[in-house]
A and B are shown apart, each in its own frame.
Chain A
Amino acid sequence: MSSIKMFEKPLGMRDTFPQIYEKVEAVRNTGRDFLCSRGYEFIKTPAVEYFDTVGKASAIADAHLFKLVDSQGNTLVLRPDMTTPIARVATSKLLKEMIPIRLAYFASVFRAQETEGGRPAEFDQMGIELIGDNSVFADAEVIVTAMELLQQYGLTKFKVTIGHAGILNCILQDYTESVEQQDILRTLLVQRNYVGFEEAVESFDLPKAKTDALLQFIEEAMNLKQIKDIEKYVRKNDALEYMQQLAKLLEIANLADYVAFDFTLSSHMSYYTGMLFEVFALGSGFPLGNGGRYDGLLEVFGSKVGATGFSIRVDRLLETLDGLANEREEAVVVLFEEEQFEEALAKVQALRVAGKQATLQLRSSLVDEKAFLAYFSEVVVVGQEEVGGE
Chain B
Amino acid sequence: MNELTIAMPKGRIFEEAYQMLLEAGFNLPEEVEMSRKLMIEIPEEKIRFILAKPMDVPVYVEHGVADIGIAGKDVLLEQQREVHELLDLKISTCYIASAGLPNTMMNEIAPRIATKYPNIAMKYYKGIGEQVEIIELNGSIELAPMIGLADRIVDIVSTGRTLKENGLVEYEFITDVSSRLIANPVSYRMKGDRIIDLVRRLKKCVN
Residues of A within 8 A of B (CB): 118, 157, 159, 161, 191-196, 198-199, 223, 260, 278, 280-282, 284-287
Contact = CB atoms under 8 A, between A and B. Distances in A.
A217 to B, nearest CB: 15
Q: Is the interface of A mostly helix, strand, loop or mixed?
A: mixed
Contacts of B64: 284-286
Contacts of B34: none
10 A-B pairs closest in CB distance? A285-B64, A280-B189, A192-B84, A193-B85, A195-B88, A159-B189, A280-B186, A195-B85, A285-B63, A282-B190
Interface in B110-133: none
A196 B63 contact: no
Interface residues of B toward A: which range?
A: 20 to 34
B63 A194 contact: no
Contacts of B82: 192, 286
Nearest to B180: A195
Nearest to B185: A287
B192 interface: yes
B83 A192 contact: yes
Given A284-B64, A285-B186, A196 B85 contact: yes
29 contacts: A157-B190, A159-B190, A191-B85, A192-B82, A192-B84, A192-B85, A192-B185, A194-B85, A194-B86, A194-B87, A195-B87, A195-B180, A196-B85, A223-B192, A223-B196, A260-B192, A280-B189, A280-B190, A281-B190, A282-B186, A285-B62, A285-B64, A285-B65, A285-B184, A285-B186, A285-B187, A286-B64, A286-B186, A287-B186
Contacts of A194: 84-87
Nearest to A264: B84
Given A161-B189, A285-B186, 16 more contacts: A159-B189, A159-B190, A192-B84, A194-B86, A195-B87, A223-B192, A278-B185, A280-B185, A280-B186, A280-B190, A282-B186, A282-B190, A285-B187, A286-B185, A287-B185, A287-B186
Which of B83, B85, B87, B88: most chain A CB closer than 10 A?
B85
A281 B184 CA distance: 12
A260 B189 contact: yes
Q: Is the interface of B mostly helix, strand, loop or mixed?
A: mixed
Nearest to B192: A223
A282 B192 CA distance: 12
Contacts of A198: 88
A209 B201 CA distance: 25
A64 to B, nearest CB: 12
B186 A281 contact: yes
A260 B63 CA distance: 23
Contact of A284 (B84, B86, B186, B196): B186
Contacts of A287: 185-186
Nearest to A279: B189
Contacts of A157: 190
A110 to B, nearest CB: 19
A191 B63 CA distance: 16
Nearest to B63: A285
Interface string B54-88: 00000000111100000000000000001111111
B52 to A, nearest CB: 15
Nearest to A262: B189
A121 B51 CA distance: 31
Given A157-B190, A161-B189, A280-B186, A195 B86 contact: yes
